[in-house]
A and B are shown apart, each in its own frame.
Chain A
Amino acid sequence: MSFSTMLSSMGEGMLRSCAIFILTILFSMPLGMIVMFLRRSRFTIVREITKIYIAIMRGTPLMLQLLMWYFGPYYLFGMNIRGYRFTAILLGFSMNYAAYFAEIYRGGMETIPVGQYEAAEILGYNKVQTFFKIILPQVLKAILPSVTNEIITLVKDTSLAFTLAYNEMFSIAKQIAASQTSFMPFVIAGVFYFAANYLVAFIMERIEKAFDYYK
């Protein structure tokens, strides 16, 4: 197999890896916000259930969670899981990352002094305005470094989709490496993940700079 055929079949895997990455970010970041609000709910029962959810998501391997999301419906409900693979992957990744993002957001919320809420209340801002105009921008600034870490981890974690035999880049690299007895696919995979994370770090640094204008 020539280097260019190797690259082109891996390129297709890269697109799939990117799809997992982008869709997971798109789903898990807003979902994490909801989970954070549930985690801070004034109803104890809601808080406790959310805590358990977060504990499970953080306390068990993502690989295992992916298997559960994929095979669970079949074993539990006898559901036909053909064509369900990609959905299971997105569910697994999004639900897992939402838990991590929720905890990051929660940490960020706790850095905001109560005086900010009180000033906003006295000035007449309603709850929604207070959150989106006053609190959230400050939370975002506070959590950017942790979010960067999390995103970099996600780039590498996309390779876990091989567990469900989804042909993302890492799975293809393994197949080619086995069939061609070549080490090259792994080198290409390594370069890909590294470059992707280099890009992530670059973009995040830009965003952090954009928040540098105060404090």
Chain B
Amino acid sequence: MKILVVGGGTGGTILANNLARRLAGEIRARKVQITMLSASERHMYQPGLLYVAFGQMMPDQLYRDQASLLEFSIDFHVDPVEQFQLDQNQVKTKSGKTYPYDVLVIATGSRIVPEEVPGLSEGAELFYTEEAAVKMYKRLREFQGGKVAIVVGVPHKCPIAPVELVFSLHSYFKTRGMLDKVKIKYHYPIGRIHTIENVAKWAKPEFDRLGVEYETLFNVKDVDAANKVVNSEEGTQAEYDLLIAIPPHRGMEVIEKDQLGQGGWIPTDRHQLTMMGRDNVYVLGDTTNLPVSKTGSAAHFEAEVVAENIASIVKIGTPVRDYDGKVYCFIEAGHDNATYAMFNYQNPPDLKPPNKSMHWFKMSYNQMYWSSVRGLL
């Protein structure tokens, strides 16, 4: 049986390693073969970008060689897929090769599309790529004070990032002794300051206490970078001296081009994680259309379910587990404090007050991530 994993990020790597261990005997007996195709020879720990944007991590700390993270039995190629031929059970890659499969796993992630909002790339700091995070830090260093506006595009990965950004900015300006020169205003697309009700309930009094202003039902329409104004779809305006945006996202272009899913989001079964209408195609992580946060954590829990199910199909001919929508997110609350949100399809998160030990746990997790994707945690 040929198992093909497309995408070597968080979800693809955890899935492939987990599966390689579960099927070690079958792989040795040459009954099963696992191949991974990715677009990069390096693997980025994306949550580290927030720390790069505040000068707390250097960009080179975010990367490992992808091959060094994989079980030896996985056949790994840096050769991005350019065409999914699902009716023929094969993909075509940039190098011109064709890879047939019996089971396909798609974990190609998402990409930022700031260009969809006129003026956003020119006017805003973004921090969702290495280059943008470094640029944002340089901008913060030079910033002498004024209005700092935060705006949020839809959809976006890491839904906790907007509130973490606020707390990190407050900490940063406080440490630099500039709080009296800065006014932070947060703008959010829906009617409360975070989409998770309990996060909103916790963050609102925190924002009030820190003097952070907020406006809800604010969806960015365009940015007038020359006059430093953001216009919202709802007809309001935000003035700024420094604009920081969580950019809108899409899935990968190839997913859209091959009509696997509108916007690059592949229609996926909530529990089995199969592509709708295709029982031998699994979808993981950001590129699903599931009503689940686009986070490494969701990709991780989904990968474990898919690995267990593919292995059980090989061994006993049937899947054994359902994905229950589980997500676990750390929330950096500034000033070396953090908390977390854990939830699934049925149970909302119950937030605990932030404390120092959660912050240091998150700092350790920034290193432990590498053991986690290797499957050692």
Q: Indicate, yes or no, whether A interacts with B.
A: no
